[in-house]
């Protein structure tokens, strides 16, 4: 019998541009796709039913695709090590292949346990990177090199035909559909097909207004984050499709292409940020538990449970903060500025530590991605040490980005009949049926800023320079816009499980 390789599906439930599938199928091996729904990961503090549902949806769709191609996947509801031990007894496999996950402490511990199990069973364990992030950390000056070689310098991999042995096909299964919360119908669909559709729709239609339109809660950005987070799209696929679109725009130069080009260039830089922040967590895993800069590890936060509860449930008496928190709980998505604003309000006005707000916020982000999330939380809390300390005033944000109150009134129905201009002055003129602000914004934020500035003034500059050298961003090197070397050929799009 041919060798058998397990493709361990993690945050990469897709068939196109999947290095793990290619690696598993090497040397004509029979491939056994396995997904493990692990209790230890599901019960971690930063996990939620929104995440479980996203992954369930992505893996179910992948399984349907595999079945259409005559294949299947094995869906285990147990810890990965237990699942592999069970499978190994039934179908001794020689290799275990997964993508190189850059996750939190729980997934890291799990990966170590799997690696130890592989060593004990003489199973080769191969991890394939799917981003430019370097395992174990990287000198930041070399970061661009990895981006250029792994993302810019390599076309997305085509779908390949992999073989599945008939004996292993009987291992395919899917647990009965869990009963998801009613709100799940509002959650963005996470499947490979939906990812491709969203990408095309953004590049062909919605992307025109990306630049200049990404701050208002009423306008959407690319909406690709869930696909990148759960792996129904790879960053390379997105980057490559964007470069193709840019090449066409530049070649055709139709009217309005300048706006298009600028929008897509701005979008491309966000893709770099993604790996930049993920690298930060990979290089410094303690980031999950303590501030990246040692001087900011003892900020005197109050962590008042009543204020935390008011923030989580969208009952702070601050209209835009409440609207964003309720929108997040219902849909799992708001844009960057609104995320930054609610974190800034929690840390600076409510004096909640980023550690205290992390579990709830991670849980209501359908696109939760630990590397981006933890880095951004600390930046918006002002504890990174070299970024400017930025306090967002929710009333100013309301005036700037939701002046007519459309978004706010949608999510805070108590305010539906209140004139928009009055929403800007609720502190002085409370509305019956809507809670007055839980804290006085100006005094509380001044107190927190004073603490943070005092730390900043007394912080050791050599320490800041050292933390910056390890984790800070570098100016991107200007280079001619990269052109894809060649377009993927249709005949390379082989079908899986032929």
Residues that bind ligand FAD (CB under 6 A): 214, 221-225, 228-229, 267, 270-271, 273-274, 277, 335-336, 339-340, 343, 365, 367-369, 372-373, 376-377, 380
Which CB, 169 or 330, lies closer to ligand FAD?
330
**Cβ–Cβ under 8 Å, residues 62 and 13:** yes
Which CB, 74 or 134, lies closer to ligand FAD?
134
Report which of 450, 443, 439, 455 is spatially closest to residue 383, judged by C-alpha positions.
455
Token pair belonging to 229:
């987070």
Going 201 to 202 to 207 to 213, the CA torsion angle's sign is positive
Residue 202 beta carbon to ligand FAD: minimum distance, rounded to whole angstroms:
7
Residue 125 beta carbon to ligand FAD: minimum distance, rounded to whole angstroms:
27
Which CB, 65 or 369, lies closer to ligand FAD?
369
Which CB, 71 or 195, lies closer to ligand FAD?
195
Q: Which residues of 119-137 are buried (b: 16+ CB within 10 A; e: fewer)?
A: eeeebebbbbbbbbbbeee
Q: Is 382 left (phi over 0), alpha (psi -120 to 50) or beta?
A: left
Which CB, 62 or 343, lies closer to ligand FAD?
343
- Please count the residues of the chain: 498
Q: Beta-carbon neighbour count of residue 191 at 10 Å?
A: 22
d(C-alpha 270, C-alpha 407), whole Å: 25
Residue 223 beta carbon to ligand FAD: minimum distance, rounded to whole angstroms:
5
Residue 273 beta carbon to ligand FAD: minimum distance, rounded to whole angstroms:
4
Residue 416 beta carbon to ligand FAD: minimum distance, rounded to whole angstroms:
27
33: part of which helix (H) or strand (E)? strand 30-36
Residue 158 beta carbon to ligand FAD: minimum distance, rounded to whole angstroms:
23
C-alpha separations of 272 from 131, 229, 411, 445, 474 in Å:
10, 14, 33, 32, 11
Which CB, 274 or 351, lies closer to ligand FAD?
274
Which CB, 248 or 337, lies closer to ligand FAD?
337
Residue 216 beta carbon to ligand FAD: minimum distance, rounded to whole angstroms:
12
Q: Beta-carbon neighbour count of residue 73 at 10 Å?
A: 25
Q: Report DSSP state, residue 398.
A: H
Which CB, 114 or 334, lies closer to ligand FAD?
334
Residue 213 beta carbon to ligand FAD: minimum distance, rounded to whole angstroms:
10
3-state secondary structure at position 223? coil
Q: For the CA atoms of the chain, what is the radius of gyration?
A: 24
DSSP 200-264: HHHHHTGGGG-TTTSSSTTS-----HHHHHHTSS-HHHHHHHHHHHHHHHHHH--TTHHHHHHHH
Q: Beta-carbon neighbour count of residue 425 at 10 Å?
A: 10
Longest distance between any two alpha carbons in the chain, whole Å: 78
Residue 221 beta carbon to ligand FAD: minimum distance, rounded to whole angstroms:
3
Which CB, 164 or 263, lies closer to ligand FAD?
263
């Amino acid at each position: 019998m041919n060798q058998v390789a397990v493709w361990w599906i993690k945050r990469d439930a897709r068939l196109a541009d999947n290095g793990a599938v290619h690696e598993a199928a090497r040397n004509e091996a029979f491939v056994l796709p396995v997904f493990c729904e692990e209790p230890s990961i599901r019960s971690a503090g930063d996990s939620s039913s929104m995440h479980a549902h996203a992954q369930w949806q992505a893996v179910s769709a992948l399984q349907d695709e595999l079945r259409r191609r005559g294949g299947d996947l094995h869906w285990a509801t147990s810890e990965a090590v237990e699942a592999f031990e069970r499978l190994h007894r039934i179908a001794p496999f020689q290799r275990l292949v997964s993508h190189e996950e850059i996750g939190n402490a729980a997934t890291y511990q799990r990966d170590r346990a799997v690696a130890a199990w592989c060593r004990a069973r003489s199973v080769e364990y191969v991890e394939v990177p799917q981003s430019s992030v370097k395992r174990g950390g990287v000198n930041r000056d070399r970061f661009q090199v990895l981006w250029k070689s792994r993302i810019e310098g390599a076309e997305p991999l085509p779908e390949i035909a992999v073989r599945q042995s008939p004996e292993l096909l009987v291992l395919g299964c899917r647990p009965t559909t869990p009963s998801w919360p009613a709100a799940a119908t509002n959650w963005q669909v996470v499947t490979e097909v939906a990812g491709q559709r969203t990408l095309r729709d953004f590049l062909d239609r919605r992307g025109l207004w990306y630049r200049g339109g990404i701050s208002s809660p009423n306008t959407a950005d690319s909406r690709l984050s869930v696909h990148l987070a759960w792996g129904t799209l790879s960053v390379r696929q997105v980057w490559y499709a964007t470069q193709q679109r840019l090449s066409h725009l530049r070649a055709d130069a139709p009217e309005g292409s300048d706006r298009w080009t600028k929008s897509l260039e701005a979008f491309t830089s966000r893709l770099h940020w993604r790996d930049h922040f993920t690298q930060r967590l990979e290089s410094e895993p303690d980031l999950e538990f303590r501030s990246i800069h040692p001087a900011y590890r003892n900020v005197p936060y109050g962590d008042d449970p009543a204020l935390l509860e008011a923030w989580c449930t969208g009952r702070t008496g601050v209209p835009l903060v409440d609207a964003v928190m309720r929108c997040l709980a219902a849909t799992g998505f708001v844009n960057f500025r609104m995320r930054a604003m609610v974190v800034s309000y929690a840390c600076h006005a409510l004096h909640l530590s980023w550690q205290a707000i992390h579990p709830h916020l991670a849980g209501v982000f359908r696109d939760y991605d630990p590397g981006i999330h933890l880095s951004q939380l600390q930046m918006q809390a002002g504890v990174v040490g070299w970024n400017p300390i930025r306090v967002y005033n929710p009333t100013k944000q309301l005036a700037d980005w939701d002046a007519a109150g459309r978004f706010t009134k949608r999510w805070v129905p108590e305010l539906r009949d209140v004139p928009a201009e009055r929403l800007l002055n609720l502190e002085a003129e409370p509305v019956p049926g809507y809670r007055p602000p839980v804290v006085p914004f100006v005094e509380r934020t001044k107190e927190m800023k004073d603490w943070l500035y005092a730390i900043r003034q007394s912080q050791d500059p050599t320490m800041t320079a050292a933390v910056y050298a390890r984790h800070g961003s570098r100016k991107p090197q200007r280079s001619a816009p990269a052109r894809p070397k060649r377009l993927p050929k249709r005949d390379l799009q082989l079908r899986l499980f032929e």
